[in-house]
Amino acid sequence: MSKIPVGVLGATGMVGQRFIHLLADHPWFEVTSLAASDVSAGRPYGEACHWVLPSALPEKVRKLTVQPVESLPDCRLAFSALPSEVAGRVEEYLADSGLVVCTNASAHRLDGDVPLLIPEVNAEHTALIETQRRRRGGQGFIVASANCSATQLALALKPLHQAFGLRQVSVVTMQAISGAGYPGLPALEILGNVVPFIEGEEEKLEAEPRKLLGELEDGKVRSAPFQVSAQCNRVPVRDGHMECVSVQLGRQASLEELIAALEGFSAPPEVAGLPGSPPRPIVVSGQDDRPQPLRDLDAGEGMSVTVGRVRACPLLDFKFVVLGHNTVRGAAGGAIHNAELLVAQGWVS
C-alpha cells in the first residue's frame, strides 16, 4: 500500500522531533506536513528547528515548510506534540475539521469519549471513537496516549489486573530529565541532585492508569476500582523512568503466579502484528540489580518495559521495579503505536 500522509503538530519541540525521528522510516506513515507556533510557521523546518536529537535530521523533512498549527493540508492523521496550554483548543478544532489526531498532550486524556490508549492494554477502548464522532458530527477524532510514567505503570499492571485484580498501587518514580522536554531542567538544578517534585505528574499517575485499565460499559469507560498513590522524583538520568511499585491484589496469589502472569503477558493478535509492537511488551529480569536505565532502556527497541526485583511486600502483597523508555514508549513511540492500531482496526482510511 502507499504510505498514509501524516502531519506533526508542535514539530519543533523535543517530542515533535522524536515523532519525526521515529517516523523517518515508518512502513505505513510518511510525514508530509509539519506545524508549529507562529514563530516558526512559514520557514523551512531545517531552519525553524533547533534539532537536539543525537540522530541526524532526516533530509526530506529538513525542507518542509512549517505550517501554522490550524492547517495540516493533505494529511489524514496528525501526531500532536503541542504544549498542553494550546493542545486543548487546537486538537479540538482539527478533530472537528475531520482530522484524526493522535496526541501526546494531556489536554484530552480524561475526556469521556476520547480513548486513552495503549494497544497492548486496552485496544478495545477505541470503541469510544464512535461516540466521539457522533458528538463532532464528522469523521475526525482524538485518541490520546498516556503520560509517560502512567504508560509504563499501566503496562506492568495490566497482566496483574487481568489475572488477580488490583486493589491498591503505591508507586515512587525516579524520572529522567528528557521527560521535561527541551530545554527542560537547568543543569544547575539536577546535576548530582534529586528533585522530589514534578508539576502535575503525581495527579496524572494517580488517575490515568485507572482509565487505561478501566472497562468499557455502555459506550463509556468505567475507571478501574483500585487506588494509586504516587510520589514523583527527577533524577540525573538522561532517558528512562524507573518506578518502585507495591501492589495489593484483588485475590491471593503466590509469587510464582505473579511472575508467571508478568512473563506470560502478550499482546492480543490484532496488536502483536503492528510495526511498533515489541516481541514481548513486558520483559521480566531475574537479576537482583535490574532493571537499570543504562542496561535495559532499549528492550524491544524502547517499546518494552522491563520489570525486576519482583518480591513479597510486608505491607501490600508484592513489590517490583518497572523501567520504561519515556521518550519512546512513553511519548512519540506510544502515539505512533496507537495510530498503527487505528489503521489496523480500520479507523483511518
**Per the structure block, which three cell numbers stand in for 47?**
531552519
Q: Is 13 in the site for its own copies (CB under 8 A)?
A: no
CB of 62 to its own copies, least distance (A): 15
User: Which DSSP letter does residue 19 get?
Assistant: H
Nearest CB to its own copies, comparing residues 200 and 268: 200
Per DSSP, which regions of 47-107 are E strands?
66-68, 77-80, 100-103
Q: Taking CB under 8 A as the rule, does residue 290 contact its own copies? A: yes
**Residues paired with 318 in a beta bridge:** 247, 312
d(CA 133, CA 98): 9
Looking only at residues 194 through 223 of this chain, which bind its own copies when binding is defined by CB under 8 A? 194-197, 206
Cell matching residue 48: 525553524
Q: How far is the CB of 224 from its own copies (least distance, A)?
A: 14
Using left for φ > 0, alpha for ψ between -120 and 50, and beta otherwise, residue 317 falls in alpha
Give the residue, chosen from 101, 157, 163, 237, that forms a contact with its own copies under the rule CB under 8 A: 237
User: Residue 230 or residue 348: which is nearer to its own copies going by CB?
Assistant: 230
Binder among 60, 73, 130, 294 for its own copies (CB under 8 A) = 294
| Binding to its own copies in span 118-177, by CB under 8 A | 168-170, 172, 174, 177
State how beta strands 241-249 and 318-324 pair. Answer: antiparallel
The verdict on whether 337 is a catalytic residue reads no
| Structural contact between residues 69 and 86, judged by C-beta atoms closer than 8 angstroms | yes
The whole-angstrom separation of Cα 322 and Cα 282 is 9
Residue 99: all three cell numbers together: 482530522
Whether 244 is catalytic is no
Q: Which of 108, 125, 161, 241 is catalytic?
A: 241
Residue 188: partners with Cβ closer than 8 Å, 6 or more residues away: none
Burial of 114 (C-beta count, 10 Å sphere; 0-12/13-18/19+): buried
Interface segment toward its own copies; rule CB under 8 A; list 139-147, 179-187, 250-258, 268-276: 179-187
Give the type of residue at 309: R
- Does 235 sit near its own copies (CB under 8 A)? yes
- Residue 238 CA to residue 93 CA, distance in Å, equals 35
Question: Scanning residues 314 to 333, which ones bind its own copies (CB under 8 A)?
Answer: 314-316, 319, 321
Candidate list 47, 134, 138, 187; residue touching its own copies; CB under 8 A: 187
Q: Which of 130, 215, 270, 289 binds its own copies (CB under 8 A)?
A: 289
Quick one: which of 10, 300, 308, 334 contacts its own copies (CB under 8 A)?
A: 308
Residues 23-52 as x/- pattern, contact with its own copies by CB under 8 A: -----------------------------x
**Which residue among 49, 75, 102, 148 is the active-site one?**
148
Q: How far apart are CA 170 and CA 166, in angstroms?
A: 11
Q: Could you tell me the three cell numbers for 114?
A: 476520547
Task: Kindly list the residues in this chain that would bind its own copies in the complex (CB under 8 A).
Answer: 52, 54, 168-170, 172, 174, 177-178, 182-197, 206, 227-229, 231, 233, 235-238, 242, 244, 246, 288-295, 297-298, 308-309, 313-316, 319, 321
Active site residues: 148, 241
